[in-house]
Amino acid sequence: MLNLNLPKAWSQVTIEQFREIRSLNIEDGTFDYNVDVLSILSDLPVEDFDEIELDELQGIIKQLSWMTSEPSKKYQHQLGELKLKPFVDITLGEFITLESFVTDDYIKNLRNICAILYRKTSTDEWGNVIFEPYKFKSSDRVNLFDEYPITSVFGLIPEYLQFRQNFLDSHSNLMTESYEDDEEIDDPEERKEQEQEKKSSKWGWEQLIWTMCNGDLSKFDSITDTKLVLIFNFLAMRKELEI
């Protein structure tokens, strides 16, 4: 019989283990799925479970009943020397990068998301907290988060998703809508309009930055480093005043 040192709660599961478990597909077979879960949680190779009997496997899996619920929605505002950047202070460039990770697979990209949201800080002479600029690749920092418990960051995801949805909803009239080619159009003029909408959807963020730069790409960095909320406030003003 295998002697496994298994976690007894989500608080004992690391971010990396959680990502690995969520990448598994139970449709590959319940037995293989359960073996893979045990391999991840016990940090033992799958081969160590080759001789395990079904009854023994089922008995061990019962010890993991806590996995039927999700991790706690609480999260930490500081991990080591890194502090969580308030969502309202996120820059346009950070939001665009976060969008690519969130819309792809936010669990698979959880460490990249954390690398953008948790940052080094300093304090100015007035005691204000200054967050380091986003001048690094998130992929260079993902390993910093591997060994933290999943409960330290899991609740951050639904809260950020809610912030994101609220922002997109409140600024929907300023966003380039995603385009779905779900019908064939025969009229040449309508087809031309359809193709233009398709192109606009493809280059949505680039169009927005181009608009804010007034065509001067030397201003690119200054625009992407500006707070997201401020950028869209100015877009709303320009639209309302037609300037």
Rounded Cα–Cα distance for residues 203 and 113 (Å) = 23
CA angle 106, 14, 89 (to 5 degrees): 45
Residue 157: CA count within 13 A, CB half-sphere: 22
Kindly give the parts of the chain with pLDDT less than 50. Answer: 177-180, 194, 196-197, 199-200, 203
CA angle 40, 20, 158 (to 5 degrees): 130
Task: Return the closest-CA partner of residue 170 out of 233, 98, 225.
Answer: 233
Provide the pLDDT for residue 53. Answer: 87
The strand ranges marked E within 36-115 are 78-79, 82-84
Question: How large is the angle between the packed helices 228-241 and 204-213, nearest 10 degrees?
Answer: 70
Provide the pLDDT for residue 180. Answer: 47
CB 154 within 8 A of CB 161: no
Rounded Cα–Cα distance for residues 96 and 88 (Å) = 14
Question: What contacts 153, CB < 8 A, 6 or more positions away?
Answer: 15, 75, 76, 79, 110, 114, 145
Provide the pLDDT for residue 136. Answer: 93
pLDDT of 148-160, one tens digit each?
999 999 999 999 9
pLDDT of 87-129, one tens digit each?
999 999 999 999 999 999 999 999 999 999 999 999 999 999 9
Note the pTM of the prediction, 2 decimals.
0.83
| Residue in the block written with tokens 């330290």 | 152
Provide the pLDDT for residue 217. Answer: 79
